[in-house]
């Protein structure tokens, strides 16, 4: 089946200005060849440290940035080639919920107008139809239809995130990008919002692309997981497989640091040492080699491994496999 979202060899390179001592203009390879796909009704999580390229990749999916190379396909259509009516259709098919419900909602707009915003491109709807649809989605996210009259400051953080989710839902999207969707919320309400995402997905069969630092959220929501390092996917597979049998040394170290003593973590503790190198001057060979505790000498320092399928469940980019 055609995936709802497919990313093929996606890359974004930024050319910086020349420095004082040289005329050479450095190139930042923020994303440097990513491949993954999300099927209908499924969730894929992108994980990795800050600076790994998750944000740049997400911006290209949302058409907020243009790829240097590669494609983003939604329902088989290259989103960076869409124009006119096709582009408007894409805009209603793909929505986003961001981290901070305090800043993502315009404080001067009533909930009704905030939630209805994605419908405004559809000139065929009457005011009454829009009001009815707003009432419907408010109920779907656990708010009351009469709360459409209120302003964002009258709500708690969790309720504001529900308003943002209602706005994302109103155009019946195929895909919602969830960018750190619970990390700004009180711990006590995170699980309510995560359950809401699950319930909505079960009912409406939307796909989610989840960007999250927090591996507990990832584990709870994601069917598949793509681990990114320095602009590349280094391991991708089903969440069950990657969590229970992480293969790439970076995935092992990331999980070991984030889930110490996790009852399901069967792996020895591995320290993730040093910082991620700069994407301006990435290491030769395997980009993880300066931090890898399993490095094998020349092959790792000189030859970049390719993302290779291991079995039905996972692919990994490492010379050990
Ligand atoms: Fe480590 Fe070599 Fe694998 Fe890179 S290719 S992760 S350096 S073992």
Q: How far apart are CA 208 and CA 197, in angstroms?
A: 9
Atom of ligand 1 lying closest to residue 319 CA: 5
Mean pLDDT of 245-273: 74
Task: Point out the ligand 1 atom lying closest to the alpha carbon of residue 289.
Answer: 7
Burial of 313 by CB count in 10 Å (0-12 exposed, 13-18 middle, 19+ buried)? Answer: middle
What would the two tokens of residue 288 be? 């993880």
Instruction: Show the domain range for 187.
Output: 5-316
Q: What is the pLDDT of residues 113-168, one digit of tens each?
A: 999 998 876 668 889 999 999 999 999 999 999 999 999 999 999 999 999 999 99
CA of 12 to the centre of ligand 1 (A): 24
283: DSSP letter = P
Distance CA 28, CA 106 (A): 33
Which of ligand 1's atoms lies nearest the C-alpha of 305?
5
Atom of ligand 1 nearest to the CA of 286: 4
65 within some domain: yes
Model confidence over 203-257: pLDDT tens digits?
999 999 999 888 988 999 999 999 999 999 999 999 999 999 999 999 999 888 7
Using DSSP's 3-state secondary structure scheme, residue 308 falls into strand
Calculate the CA 286 to chain-centre distance: 24
C-alpha 311 to ligand 1 mean position (Å):
19
pLDDT of the residue at 282: 87
In a domain, residue 321? The reply is no
| Confidence class for position 102, pLDDT limits 50, 70, 90 | confident
At residue 215, what are phi and psi to the nearest 5 degrees? -70, -20
The residue among 269 and 49 whose pLDDT is bigger is 49
| Strands 77-78 and 69-74, bridge-based pairing | antiparallel
20 part of a folded domain: yes
Helix/strand/coil (H/E/C) assignment for every residue in 74-94? ECCEEHHHCCHHHHHHHHHHE
pLDDT score for 124? 81
Q: Give the total number of structural domains in the chain.
A: 1
The neighbour count for residue 48, using CB atoms within 10 Å, is 23
Is residue 286 domain-resident? yes
Global pTM value: 0.92
Residue 115's nearest CA partner among 97, 134, 141, 132 is 134
Least confident of 143-147, 260-264, 281-285, 302-306: 260-264
Q: How far is the CA of 227 from the centre of ligand 1 (A)?
A: 14
**Domain CATH number, residue 176:** 3.40.50.300
Q: Which of 194, 196, 198 is nearest to 166 (CA)?
A: 196
Please state the rounded mean pLDDT for residues 256-277: 67
Q: How far is the CA of 215 from the centre of ligand 1 (A)?
A: 23
Residue 195 lies inside a defined structural domain of this protein: yes
pLDDT band at 313 (very low <50, low <70, confident <90, very high): confident
Residue 231 lies in a domain: yes
Q: How many CB atoms lie within 10 A of CB 94?
A: 25
Separation of CA 289 and ligand 1 centre (Å): 6
Closest CA to 5 of 100, 84, 56, 76: 76
Run of H or E residues at 223: none
**Is-contact 54 46, C-beta < 8 A?**
yes
Residues at CB less than 6 angstroms from ligand 1: 248-249, 286, 288-289, 292, 294-296, 300, 305, 318-320
- Rounded Cα–Cα distance for residues 293 and 276 (Å): 14
Indicate whether 145 belongs to any domain: yes
220 within a domain of the structure (yes/no): yes
Reported ipTM: 0.99
Task: Please report which helix (H) or strand (E) contains residue 13, including its range.
Answer: strand 5-15
Cα 282 to averaged position of ligand 1 atoms, centre (Å)? 15
Tell me which of 295, 297, 310, 317 to substitute to probe ligand 1's pocket, judged by most ligand atoms within 8 Å of the beta carbon: 295
What is the pLDDT averaged over residues 88-105?
Answer: 87
Selected residue with higher pLDDT from 313 and 262: 313
Choosing from 300, 301, 310, 321 the residue with most ligand 1 atoms within 8 A of its CB, the one to mutate for a pocket test is: 300
What would the pLDDT profile of 37-58 be if each residue is shown by its tens digit? 999 999 999 999 888 999 999 9
pLDDT tier at 22, thresholds 50, 70, 90: confident
The DSSP code for 307 is P
* Residue 286 predicted with pLDDT over 80: yes
Atom 3 of ligand 1, residue of closest alpha carbon: 318
Q: How far apart are CA 231 and CA 15, in angstroms?
A: 15
């Amino acid at each position: 089946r055609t995936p709802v979202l497919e990313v093929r060899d996606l890359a974004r390179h930024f050319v910086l200005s020349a420095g004082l001592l040289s005329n050479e203009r450095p190139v930042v390879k923020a994303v440097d060849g990513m491949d993954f796909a999300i099927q209908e009704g499924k969730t894929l999580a992108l994980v990795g440290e800050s600076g790994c390229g998750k944000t740049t990749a997400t911006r290209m999916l949302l058409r907020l940035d243009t790829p240097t190379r590669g494609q983003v396909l939604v329902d088989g259509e290259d989103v960076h080639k869409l124009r006119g009516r096709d582009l408007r259709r894409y805009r209603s098919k793909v929505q986003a919920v961001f981290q901070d419900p305090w800043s993502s909602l315009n404080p001067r707009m009533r909930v009704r107008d905030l939630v209805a915003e994605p419908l405004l491109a559809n000139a065929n709807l009457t005011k009454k139809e829009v009001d009815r649809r707003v009432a419907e989605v408010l109920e779907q996210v656990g708010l009351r239809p009469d709360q459409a009259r209120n302003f964002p400051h009258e709500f708690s953080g969790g309720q504001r995130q529900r308003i943002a989710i209602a706005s994302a839902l109103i155009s019946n999207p195929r895909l919602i990008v969830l960018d750190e969707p619970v990390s700004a919320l009180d711990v006590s309400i995170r699980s309510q919002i995560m359950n809401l995402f699950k319930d909505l997905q079960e009912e409406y069969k939307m796909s989610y692309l989840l960007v999250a630092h927090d591996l507990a959220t990832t584990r709870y929501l994601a069917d598949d997981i793509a681990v990114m390092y320095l602009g590349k996917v280094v391991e991708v597979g089903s969440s069950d497989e990657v969590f229970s049998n992480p293969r790439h040394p970076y995935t092992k170290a990331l999980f070991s640091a984030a889930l110490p003593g996790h009852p399901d973590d069967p792996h020895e503790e591995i320290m993730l040492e040093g910082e991620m190198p700069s994407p301006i001057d990435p290491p030769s060979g395997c980009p993880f080699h300066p931090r890898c505790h399993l490095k094998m000498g020349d092959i790792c320092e000189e030859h970049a491994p390719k993302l290779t399928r291991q079995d039905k469940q996972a692919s990994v980019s490492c010379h050990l496999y």
